Amino acid sequence: MPSPDPRITAFSFRRQRLDGSAAGALDAVAAVVGVYSAMPGGPLSIRARAAGVTADAVRDLERSRSALRMRAMRTSAFLVPVASAARIAAATAVPESRFRWLLRAAGVTDAELPAVRGAVLGVAHEPGTVGELRARLAARGLDQETAPWTGGPALGRVLSYMTGFGQLAAIGQESLSSNALRYVDRRSWFGDASDEPGATTRADPVESRAWLARAYLRAFGPARLEDLAWWAGWSRTTAETALAAHDTVELDGRRRLLSDDVAVLEATPPLSDRITLLPKWDAWTMGYPLDGRDRLLDMTVHDRVFDGDGNGLAMVLRAGRAIGAWSHRGERGTMAVDLDLFERVTANERGAIDAELAGIAAFLGYRGTTVREVGTVIPDRRRMRRPLVPVD
């Protein structure tokens, strides 16, 4: 079933810079509030929005400390601009107790947490992997015998907990395909005395939720109240209060749009039949709940581009709407692709798909591509799950 109004698809597609119009890597991230931090999806989401962006420009987001990984919408891990990190943190905050399971799994009690936190921060003045931080702790007499939480997977859980609540920053490695992280004292790394990088005081939660609601409608609208609540991880009441801070117009009895965007929507030209390839968990595919995805796909093929947990697969789009799914893996230096096309494509369109896959392979550092057409892309759910907070 097509979207009720093709302008809705065209408007939000362009607002998300999927036409390649982002001025650079940071602009691509800011255009959608944040991109999922999992590799290589995050870098590929940036590449889809900033035409000609290089892998090095994506790495520079963290090198220059202009973006950071943090727990954000729906408690998932995102890469966000440092400039908006404080507001996003305040708008999406959850009780710390919600993630105490990480400490319990690491064998750390509530009473032990202050000392554990202090010990980790004491060795995290410079970025280090889990193994490197373990070695630094051992040099201070904290090893698996004296401090069991430093051994095995327990230390990774402690670091994940501290990253999720702002004491540590998690930094990616040089490889855009690796989810191995380095951890560093967040205050030390960002050179600020507050708990939020780039801010001198904590952001106000009410103002921050209003800011986030506006940012969502700017990039994902027109959208329903239910869409915003799902995306942000809020209750319907919280979403309604946040939206009430803005002047909005209701379209088609369901979707809302900022009043100052109505004229832009009405003047929006239709999208061309351009082919676009998106990675898993792209903002375009993960911005709406199940019953809000009609702008980007025919719901009869929904289960070929989303798995049973609601994770958006890597997709092939024509004019902003899904016509296929794809997945990739490394095979001896080559990017091996499984391609599931459920709509006919012309020879030119197939050529565009192959060219884009080759560009993605080069971006990620592969020597080339091999493409196999399959009936459906079946995801490995163990690999599809997003970590709630960065893990090692």
Please report the pLDDT score of residue 200 as a whole number: 43
Please report the pLDDT score of residue 196 as a whole number: 53
Please report the pLDDT score of residue 5 as a whole number: 86
- Domain assignment present for 350: yes
Distances (CA, A) of 126 to 82, 189, 207, 371, 381: 19, 8, 34, 42, 34
- Domain assignment present for 184: no
Please provide the DSSP assignment of 255-290 as one string: EEEEGGGHHHHHTPPPP---EEEE-TT-TTTSSS-G
Handedness of CA 219, 169, 72, 209 (dihedral sign): negative
What is the model's pTM?
A: 0.92
110-123: b (≥16 Cβ within 10 Å) or e: eeebeebbebbbeb
- 21 touches 268 (CB < 8 A): no
Q: Which residue, 208, 271, 369, 259, is CA-closest to 2?
A: 271
**Mean pLDDT, 10 residues at a time, over the chain (392 residues)?**
76 98 98 97 98 97 94 96 95 94 96 97 96 97 95 96 93 90 93 52 90 98 97 98 97 92 96 97 97 94 92 96 96 96 96 98 96 77 41 38
- Domain assignment present for 331: yes
Please report the pLDDT score of residue 173 as a whole number: 86
- 320 touches 331 (CB < 8 A): no
- Domain assignment present for 293: yes
- Domain assignment present for 79: no
Please report the pLDDT score of residue 30 as a whole number: 98
Please report the pLDDT score of residue 192 as a whole number: 62
**Strands 334-341 and 369-373, sheet pairing:** parallel
Please report the pLDDT score of residue 202 as a whole number: 77
Domain around 376: 275-384
Please report the pLDDT score of residue 222 as a whole number: 97
| CA 88 to chain centroid | 13
- Domain assignment present for 186: no
d(CA 388, CA 163): 11
Q: Which residue, 97, 223, 238, 96, is CA-closest to 167?
A: 96
- Domain assignment present for 319: yes
What the block records as the tokens of 353 is 């798909």
Please report the pLDDT score of residue 213 as a whole number: 98
- Domain assignment present for 307: yes
- Report how many domains make up the chain: 1
Q: Which amino acid is at 315?
A: M
Distances (CA, A) of 366 to 327, 331, 335, 356, 362: 15, 9, 6, 13, 5
